[in-house]
A and B are shown apart, each in its own frame.
Chain A
Amino acid sequence: MIFFKQLRGMFSNDLSIDLGTANTLIYVRDQGIVLNEPSVVAIRQDRGPGGPKQISAVGMEAKQMIGRTPGNIVAIRPLKDGVIADFTVTEKMLQHFIHKVHENRFLRPSPRVLVCVPCGSTQVERRAIKESAAGAGARDVFLIEEPMAAAIGAGMPVAEASGSMVLDIGGGTTEVAVLSLNGIVYSSSVRIGGDRFDEAIVNYVRRNYGTLIGESTAERIKHEIGSAFPGNDVREIEVKGRNLSEGIPRSFSLNSNEILEALQEPLAGIVGAVKTALEQTPPDLGADIAERGMVLTGGGALLSGLDQLLMEETGLPVVVAEEPLTCVARGGGRALEMIDKFGGDVFASE
């Protein structure tokens, strides 16, 4: 059995998977990012509540179904706050993605897989992720903490004897870490991320406009006019939602200042986490960070003005990584490439 697994492994690529709450990214060794799809699975259950369940769609196709499904289909996100909320569905989703990146192969793939985990995840949560990847066909499963992968992917000098601070804002969690000499000196994880931004927008619109909007609409608003820092230009967007008092869909417009106001609470949580990290950082490393600044990665880094907000709040230089969305997956991939050279120094224990 092991022989066959190894044989299949010869025909499989090593993968680095950023199993995120919002998106799953797969980096293939020597190839780059080959998959970037929402972590959403649509499940069809025919013949009533006790009927057999089957996967109807995964990824982008399933995401388009969120909030638009009939009774027998449910589109779910199997990860919540950066960790697995539904083990079986996560396993199926991973299996689908692993097969998708090996679609030209006729042997069932059995790759070595590196999965990025939030640094605040518990032992049980890490074990669940490991088991899930193994169940999806992985030959070996390695874990790496997300801030470490993000820093490597962003190109930060993590191997040097100087402090580097990274802030990775994902869909479910925000990770802040101080790294030096390939290790994590301080890390913390707060369960605030892109999803909380969406929720905040939904709540704001309900409170101020008496209108209910869906998750996907809130996400679109965030992408188009979301802002973390007051700017000179005010952008507007036309949205439609169900008016709570009339019960009829109505159209209205929102501007970026309103969204800035809506996002104040989750943003305050992130700023608080950064300030706490700076307080906890040893002074010498703190000095290095003050000299060079911190790096923002993750989808949250794309929120307009977030770097300016953090600069104002902390008084430190803040830099947004290139292609922040893919930093974690790329960093994981680079760590995977380093396994053979340097061993598993950078990997997280279970």
Chain B
Amino acid sequence: MSDGFTGSIGEHLVRAREAHKISRAHIASQLFLSERIVKALEGDDYDTLPAPIFVCGYLRSYARIVEIEAEPLIAAYNQRGDSPPSVVSHDANPEVRKQHIDVDRGWMINVARYVAIGVAVSVVLYLLWAFVPTLFSGAGDDEQGEEVAAGMEFDGGGLPAFESMPVAAPFETPAAPDAPPINVGKGDKPKFDKPAAAPTVVDPVEVVVEEAPIIEVAAPAAEAAVVPDVPKKSPISGPHSTLRLKFSHESWVEVHDATGRRVLVDLMREGGDKTLYGQAPFKLLLGYSSGVVIEYNGALYDPENYKRKGVARFSIGKPEDNKER
């Protein structure tokens, strides 16, 4: 039946007991068991015996008294068809067992997990793209930002991307009579009323231009062809001033024009250069004013008097400023 002995477990026990010339009663008294249980053990009558853990224990103690190996008996008992499996695994090394299980669990579960993680990450990225657009609009990277702005196409889904542009239009937006009206409210986020017709490419109302004054720079010819009805003219229709900011150090910048519109809100990198047009006076907030050179209508402006721990808040282009100059 098993290694180490022949016949049944009970027969092996009886043979060993008889070889030692020990009576069943003696075994029972040594094990503090009733003779009935010892008889059941010797008769392989496991139905009348208690739970397997007890039977294994009895076999071990019995084997010790008759001086035989207990393990083959227990192994044979555990291999019985009607016996429940051993409560313990016989894989001694937990690390090895863990590896076995990892392999056995199958690749399907892992694939499902990674797909779920992928979906979750995609959702998070989409939400970030939709609601925290400055992360993706290349804030601080002026050239890249302008390229993105120039090529932008508003078809409903592009609205958040438009919001991502660092500057709102300080000018009257040029619009053809049949072009979709663009309502730029007083708030920070312009709203677009758009007909349900085919998506129309609108000139991004980009006023931030780098060393090039006007909006045509931001409107490629290809897009002009898409919107033939939009006349190209200077969007600057009222009295305006030019404000140029050169950055020798990274600095946070907020610029509002006379109408209260936000002209520029951005973290500017070292070496950046911005030229802004709008109605004076401009309200400025410079996070690190020492690293910014300001030119107002071609003249240098020093915000020294307004510095507080490096941060400067001031207005530029007020009538009295003009008088001073």
Contacts and interface: CB of A to CB of B under 8 A. Distances in A.
Interface of A: 7, 10-11, 30-36, 107, 153-157, 291-293, 295, 307, 311, 315-323, 326, 330
Given A32-B97, A154-B53, A156-B53, A317 B88 contact: no
Given A11-B113, A34-B98, A319 B88 contact: no
Nearest to A26: B94
B87 A295 contact: no
A32 B53 contact: no
Given A31-B101, A32-B101, A317-B58, A322 B53 contact: yes
Contact of B33 (A154, A317, A321): A317
Contacts of A154: 53, 87
B52, B61, B86 pick with most chain A CB within 10 angstroms: B61
A259 B255 CA distance: 86
B34 interface: yes
7 contacts: A32-B97, A32-B101, A292-B51, A293-B33, A315-B32, A317-B57, A318-B57
Interface of B: 31-34, 50-54, 56-58, 60-61, 86-89, 91, 94, 97-98, 101, 113, 116-117, 120
A316 B56 CA distance: 16
Contact of B89 (A32, A107, A307, A311): A32
A317 B56 contact: no
A157 B55 CA distance: 13
Contacts of A11: 113
B249 to A, nearest CB: 35
A35 B94 contact: yes
Contact of B88 (A30, A31, A34, A330): A330
Given A31-B101, A35-B94, A155-B87, A291 B32 contact: no
B87 A153 contact: yes
A319 B50 CA distance: 12
A153 B89 CA distance: 12
A309 to B, nearest CB: 13
B54, B86, B98, B116 pick with most chain A CB within 10 angstroms: B54
B289 to A, nearest CB: 39
B96 to A, nearest CB: 11
B31, B51, B52, B101 pick with most chain A CB within 10 angstroms: B51
A315 B33 CA distance: 9
A319 B49 CA distance: 14
Contact of A155 (B32, B53, B58, B91): B53
Given A34-B97, A319-B54, 14 more contacts: A30-B101, A32-B89, A34-B94, A107-B117, A154-B87, A291-B34, A292-B50, A293-B57, A295-B54, A307-B61, A317-B31, A320-B60, A322-B87, A330-B87
Contacts of B34: 291
A157 B86 CA distance: 14
Contacts of B97: 31-34
A295 B57 contact: yes
Contacts of B51: 155-157, 292
User: Which 4 A-B pairs give the minimum distances between C-beta atoms?
Assistant: A319-B57, A155-B87, A155-B53, A292-B50
Nearest to A307: B61
Nearest to B55: A319
B99 to A, nearest CB: 10
Contacts of B53: 154-156, 295, 319, 321-322
Contacts of B33: 293, 317
A323 B113 contact: no
Contacts of B32: 293, 311, 315-318
Given A157-B51, A316-B32, A323 B94 contact: no
Contacts of B31: 311, 317
Contacts of A293: 32-33, 54, 57
